[in-house]
Structure 1
């Protein structure tokens, strides 16, 4: 039987960090259905008390203690939350104290610092990257490709767009993407506009069966979505990428995070990425 447990992600900011780290830990436990609740912007005593009330209500409803992941910086608020009937795991308390001891420097305990750097160059880089990526999605334009950090290529619906946007949003990478289409395969060569930027190309492929399922949702009962057509396109695209010496990977069973990490490593963008 599947066990159901409630988990809270509580932060003085957006809660994204707590949720990301919490998900990584929870993924190690099979057979558990996690009922997730995010409570962001807990930066006052009053808000902390409201969060505690929610936790108490869930504990009473479920008959067991919820699990609470927090990135609360304010010591008073964090201590108050620990009085709730829950297993409270504060990432900052776990990791900041040992770092302070090692480098002999006290942290500034600034609330919301992780996601509050709206005037930083990293933030501006990400906004520019997102705008660039949206403008260069699916081969909309070949203008300013010289500004691209990476250009993803592959057949339609193999995961180019979500990967491009993730790279831009998370790492500030300007990612263009171009579909490889039957006309390219008939010519036996890459689109002309991509040749001079070959060093920036990275390919995505996908299992034909998975591609057919995805395309069927978009265009049911079409040649575009047929398994035979998908097999032909995938085969032709992989042959072209091999011939052109383009690094590529199969996106069928990989998450966007895994694909993006591989792209960063292969195109050697790790040092450029804005973490």
Structure 2
């Protein structure tokens, strides 16, 4: 099913809010289309034409909208497609309650409210990139959490989500055969076991994901994924590392569980 996210800024806000609603509907494959920076009447008319064209396809699209400029929003709401407007009705309700009018300024709802928090989030993203998949152990002590798991269990997207949305300094480290044989954490992170959090998944799902990367390989075999996941679970138990099954949770859910388990206060901006 096609889903369109319309925004007058980067689109992060509307995608986050829309995805929270879509996550309630399991078994449906959503085809996502981002349409950010809709700030002029010309932009809005082009977007409206695209949505109207989508209405001529067999499947009616879902449209999520966070645009605060009344003129631009009115044009977009003129589409034949059904629109879920996160700003319009809510803004009017708040204005009535407060007794004053909002600025209706584009980008205001997406703006940086606290420069220090914003800077921390950007630093967290840089840290996550540098420490992705065990690429670096430099300044690893700065990590708020170290995600450990067998290859392709979802370490990278979870790390980036925590960094970008919550300003958490995250490193992630792949577990390999040598770690499983010894049932021990890699030497470079062993002294930071209290900051580690593990991911698991189902053997079949892991095999399917790996098959796309290395078809018909031992790495992607069901026997290998069963062995790695069982050994990973034993390693987590040995070191008292909390963990979550990524096959049953979204990135948002896993991130929340990690924050709670590690007692980390997220940064929001």
1:58 Cα deviation after fit = 4.8
The TM-score with structure 1 as length reference comes to: 0.81
CA contact (8 A) 1:65 1:86 kept: yes
Q: In the alignment, is residue 258 of structure 1 matched against residue 253 of structure 2?
A: yes
Where does residue 46 of structure 1 map in the other structure?
42
Q: Which runs of 5+ in 2 are unaligned?
A: none
Q: Which moved more, 1:81-90 or 1:167-176?
A: 81-90
SS in 1 for 2:220: coil
Q: In the alignment, is residue 12 of structure 1 matched against residue 2 of structure 2?
A: no
Where does residue 89 of structure 2 map in the other structure?
94
CA distance in 2 between counterparts of 1:221 and 1:34 reads 28
CA contact (8 A) 2:183 2:238 kept: no
Q: Which runs of 5+ in 1 are unaligned?
A: none
Q: 1:108 to 1:244 in 2, by over 3 A?
A: same
Please give the per-residue CA displacement for 1:226-246, whole angstroms capped at 9, x wherever unaligned.
Answer: 322322221111111112111
Q: In the alignment, is residue 238 of structure 1 matched against residue 233 of structure 2?
A: yes
Q: Which moved more, 1:232-241 or 1:181-190?
A: 181-190
Where does residue 242 of structure 2 map in the other structure?
247
CA contact (8 A) 1:10 1:70 kept: yes
Counterpart selection for 1:163 from 158, 161, 177 = 158
Based on CA coordinates, which of the two structures has the bigger radius of gyration? Answer: 1
Q: 1:121 to 1:29 in 2, by over 3 A?
A: same
Query: What is the aligned length?
Result: 269
CA contact (8 A) 2:64 2:83 kept: yes
Counterpart selection for 2:144 from 149, 154, 161 = 149
Q: What CA RMSD, in Å, does the superposition of the two structures yield over aligned residues?
A: 3.2
CA contact (8 A) 2:39 2:72 kept: yes
CA distance in 1 between counterparts of 2:212 and 2:42 reads 47
Q: In the alignment, is residue 199 of structure 1 matched against residue 211 of structure 2?
A: no
Q: Report matched runs for 1:1-275 at 5 Å.
A: 8-25=4-21, 37-59=33-55, 61=56, 68-102=63-97, 106-117=101-112, 120-269=115-264, 271-275=265-269
